[in-house]
Amino acid sequence: MTIAVYLVLLVLITPPLGSFMYRIYTSEKTGRIEGAIYRLIGVDPWAEQTWRRYAYCVLWFSAISMLFTYVVMRFQQHLPLNPLGLPAPTQYVTFNTATSFVTNTNWQAYGGESTMSYLSQMIALTFQNFLSAAIGMAVLVAMVRGFVRSKSDGLGNFWRDTVRGVIYILLPISIVLSILLVTQGVVQTLGNSVSLTGIQGFGQTIARGPVASQIAIKQLGTNGGGFFNVNSAHPFEGGTVLANFLELLAILAIPAGLCYTFGKMVGRVREGWAIFAAMMVLFLAGLWLTVPQEHSATQAMQLAGVPATAQNLEGKEIRYGTDQSSLWAVATTDASNGSVNSMHDSYQPFAMVAPMFNIAVGEVVWGGVGSGLYGMLFYVIIAVFIGGLMVGRTPEYLGKKIGAREVKLSAIAVLVPFLFALAFTAVAVVIPAGLNARLNDGPHGFSEILYAFLSMGNNNGSAFAGLTATDWLFAVGGGVVMLVVRFVPLLAALALGASLGKEGKVPVTAGTLPTDKPLFVGLLDGVIVVIGALTFFPALALGAIVEGLMKGKLFG
């Protein structure tokens, strides 16, 4: 019932939210606050930028943001709002975290409440939650302009797109969601930790902090980085069942709405719904694979005499249960979010195939805000190209001919994350730094390493939770991976938009492949599944699949 209600609400909020974002990005008016920001930073928001100029602004702004985040964390012991007197994280962890948050990955190799001061949480991490999300949305909008425009090399203005994404979309919705979360027990305070005696008579210290404000944007911006070590499973972060459901809805709200925004921008709403449908089909497939698995007992439970039909509640919060936990696991790995309300390490082996596959294919089933949809558009280009080959005519999409340049850019954007994730996994499973970081041996230990680099290699941020990721291999190597797989597809998206923008429109003919029909939705999903299977099935077979087939008989 929970899953059905969730799906219905997601469909219902998509048109109004998508229309709202369309009006924000296409409006020719400049608000007072917006204008003041432009004057403060000294930019002309209406100056058209080529893709190279747009990319230059993205890169140098991200570099400065990353440096700012690094400095705040490294000097947090000398800065205010540090009531616990926490020292600075190590240079490895700081580099990894700064990289993680600037790339919208939000991978965390530390316990938030015991590592980061309030200032670091608010000024460094929450600040990046807004900016990295807004940049992803801005790049998407710039790319879509290339589909719309004709004989033009301009893609809009980076500063206008980013500022509007923050002050008109992310910030207002985050404020509303933060207030709702506070009413459901999510903490928002600058007060110190509280020491008390529990019901069993033991003393304990309960961490608090400015949590609700960070949680709202971590979900809306598909960031995922939590204030607490156990992320959204923590009662001060996940709150009640209602708060958990609101956070879960927030994860997919903007990625789903952007499909409708895309349709409005290109003047064909049905095209947006077609992409939405392709994403929904794969989303439902992931739920179909994961939820039933978690409604059955693990092999260890059955050996202990538990009936096979018992639910697998290991690593799950009882207040959320199996369905809401499984729904979260699939949604967060579909959406480049990375937040968790249960321990993925405790899921059934076959149940983890869907989340790992979701990450592996580049998180285009909803995906990150902006980045998920432009990632899906790369697959659309490839699908259109394959469709053109099958019917023997020049491939076209939205009135633009798809040539060699567009296909090459799409292939680069799709394959680079694959290459880096698998290459670093291969290195990690043969050197001590990788093998010693595992909690488990055998296929489950392999899955821990594979999941880590899939997560960092596709800007997700979730983890198996059994891996120690503070050493140089995962901290520094993972940071490099996160930078590459964030900015290579991002640059490819801008270059692709510019390439299409320079072209003229071609008329629709009887031979044009319809891209707003169920047939194309099936072709698109087929391309995604086939590419993912050919690339990652051997790796999944060495980990989760073989573990599921062995049923715990060979490995503990």
Tokens of residue 118, six digits: 């309030």
Give pLDDT, residue 489: 95
First to last CA, the chain: 35
Give pLDDT, residue 88: 93
- Listed residue (213, 170, 200, 204) closest to 20, CA to CA: 170
CB 334 within 8 A of CB 286: yes
Tokens of residue 532, six digits: 């993912």
CB 455 within 8 A of CB 463: yes
CA distance 475 to 471: 6
pLDDT, tens digit, 9 for 90 and up, residues 311-356: 888 888 888 989 999 999 999 999 888 899 998 888 888 888 888 8
CB atoms within 10 A of CB 87: 11
Give pLDDT, residue 299: 74
Chain centroid, CA 282 distance in Å: 16
Domain locations in the chain as residue ranges = 2-267
Q: What is the mean pLDDT of each run of 10 residues along the chain (556 residues)?
A: 92 97 94 93 94 96 95 94 91 93 90 90 92 96 94 93 97 96 93 82 85 94 88 89 94 96 96 96 93 84 77 87 92 90 86 86 88 95 90 84 94 92 92 88 88 89 81 90 94 96 83 88 94 86 81 55
Give pLDDT, residue 553: 57
- Where are the strands (E) in 352-453, listed by range? 396-397, 400-401
* Angstrom distances, CA of residue 87 to CA of 6, 105, 226: 42, 24, 19
Give pLDDT, residue 191: 87
DSSP 3-state of 293: helix
Tokens of residue 53, six digits: 């100029």
Longest dimension (CA), the chain: 78
- Listed residue (186, 191, 192) closest to 237, CA to CA: 186
The residues, ordered by sequence, that sit 6+ positions from 316 with a Cβ below 8 Å of its Cβ are: 322, 325, 342, 343, 346
**0.85 exceeded by the pTM?**
yes
CA distance 81 to 97: 19
* Angstrom distances, CA of residue 403 to CA of 392, 500, 504: 14, 9, 13
- Listed residue (244, 234, 462, 249) closest to 355, CA to CA: 462
CA distance 351 to 346: 10
Q: Tabulate helix, strand, coil % of the chain (nearest 5).
A: 65, 5, 30
CA distance 547 to 344: 15
